[in-house]
């Protein structure tokens, strides 16, 4: 082997956990995403999905994807910049912009490439990018690609954010990039206070609504709408792979910003465009979310029920205010073990370890869908309580 292979061969952490029988990744699902899935012929309750609206197997969305494939084919064979723009891309962009309250929007191939391509190209070497230290990895990677000075502040600590803003030159652009809902812990960014600091220091705000769309705000318009600060947020990002039951992402902003991104964002210009099926699926999901408010109501009913149930059972769930419920373990190996124990009890949950969290904050992540039932939540709480007690994680 060469020097590279010799170096990489030393990485054996996954193999160590495989030998212990608790490796928790790449588990194969043999059915569609729903509250119950098939895995190796076994029925398992799915509490590890981001399909908050429960739309991934909605027949209307499936038919819309089929119809788009029949009309346009399976792919666009190029980027949006050149030959890959379809009329349905443009129509979806107009509808997304209106939905989140901005002038225009751009659709990207994935949510990750939105943050990577937007954060990296908005500012220059004389400017600043300021991030919460728990922002998503896609924001981190976008920040790393930028020539701007990058600053971080302690999670949701507004005094710390203000201190970072005070370090910046007044005449420079100061871009604050933050998750609306933090994907592992389930808590919300303090957008009202971030907006206050924006106005005080003449900053710009970009909010990642990946886990907020379909969940918060009127008709699921997101955390910005939930807090009533949409007009003060300069850029709103969202994904299709969660509530919108597809794959892709978008950025929405004023016309001048979108014009710049359309001609300068490398992950937009140099990536093949969304497939017709994915585009049509996201568009149909958006229509359903807007026209069926009862779906969001069901999601919050089951979320509030689950939050109370886990708290009453003695779990440490932190500051979550969303359908994302972290069950803190605070030990990497025990996090993997309890994930395996839960699966043996018929419950699919996700382990969260570094770099997705701090070493002392490892957890298993429970996520809810509008289609979960109280009986399913009761079963999960009962079995997870049993697992956690066996490991001495709760009394």
**What residues are labeled active site?**
183, 211, 242
Which residues lie closer than 8 Å to 58 by C-beta, 6 or more apart?
245, 285, 288
Return the number of other C-beta atoms located less than 10 Å from residue 321's C-beta: 16
List b or e across 122-135, with b for residues whose CB sees 16 or more CB atoms inside 10 angstroms: bbeeebbbbbbebb
Strands 235-239 and 149-153 turn out to be unpaired
Helical ranges in the chain per DSSP H = 3-8, 13-19, 59-72, 87-100, 111-119, 137-145, 158-166, 191-201, 223-227, 255-264, 266-269, 276-291, 293-312, 332-344, 374-390
Q: What is the C-alpha to C-alpha distance for residues 333 and 203, in angstroms, rounded to an integer?
A: 42
- CA proximity to 345, closest of 394, 389, 299, 298: 389
Burial class (CB in 10 A: 0-12, 13-18, 19+), 150: middle
Cα dist from 258 to 35, 107, 277, whole Å: 38, 11, 24
Cα dist from 339 to 9, 18, 335, 365, whole Å: 27, 13, 6, 10
**Where is 232: in which H helix or E strand?**
none
Tokens for 364? 């298993």
Return the number of other C-beta atoms located less than 10 Å from residue 336's C-beta: 22
Tokens for 35? 């509250």
């Amino acid at each position: 082997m060469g020097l590279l292979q010799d170096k990489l061969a030393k990485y054996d952490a996954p193999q160590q956990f495989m030998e212990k029988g608790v490796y928790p990744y790449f588990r194969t699902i043999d059915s569609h995403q729903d509250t119950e899935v098939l895995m190796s012929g076994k029925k398992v309750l799915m509490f590890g999905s981001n399909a908050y609206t429960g739309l991934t197997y909605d027949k209307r969305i499936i038919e819309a994807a089929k119809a788009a494939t029949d009309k346009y084919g399976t792919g666009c064979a190029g980027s949006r910049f050149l030959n890959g723009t379809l009329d349905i891309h443009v129509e979806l962009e107009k509808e997304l912009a209106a939905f989140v309250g901005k002038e225009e929007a751009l659709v990207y191939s994935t949510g990750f490439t939105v943050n990577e391509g937007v954060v990296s190209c908005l500012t220059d070497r004389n400017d600043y990018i300021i991030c919460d230290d728990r922002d998503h990895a896609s924001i981190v990677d976008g920040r790393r690609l930028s020539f701007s000075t990058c600053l971080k502040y302690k999670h949701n600590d507004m005094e710390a954010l203000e201190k970072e803003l005070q370090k910046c030159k007044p005449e420079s652009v100061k871009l604050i990039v933050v998750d609306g809902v933090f994907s592992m812990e389930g808590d919300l960014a303090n957008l009202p206070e971030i907006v206050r600091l924006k106005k005080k220091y003449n900053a710009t705000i970009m909010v990642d609504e990946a886990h907020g769309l379909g969940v918060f705000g009127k008709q699921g318009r997101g955390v910005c709408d939930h807090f009533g600060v949409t007009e003060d947020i300069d850029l709103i990002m969202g994904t299709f792979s969660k509530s919108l039951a597809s794959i892709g992402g978008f950025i929405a902003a004023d016309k001048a910003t979108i014009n710049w991104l359309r001609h300068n964002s490398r992950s937009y210009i140099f990536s093949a465009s969304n497939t017709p099926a994915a585009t049509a699926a996201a568009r149909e999901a958006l229509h359903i979310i807007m026209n069926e408010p009862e779906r969001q109501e069901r999601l919050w009913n089951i979320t509030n029920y689950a939050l109370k149930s886990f708290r009453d059972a003695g779990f440490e769930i932190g500051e979550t205010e969303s359908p994302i419920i972290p069950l803190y373990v605070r030990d990497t190996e025990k996090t993997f073990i309890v994930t395996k124990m839960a699966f043996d009890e018929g419950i699919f949950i996700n382990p969260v370890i570094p770099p997705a969290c701090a070493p002392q904050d490892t957890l298993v992540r429970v996520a809810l869908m509008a289609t979960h039932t109280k009986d399913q939540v009761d079963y999960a709480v009962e079995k997870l309580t049993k697992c956690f007690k066996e490991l001495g994680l709760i009394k």
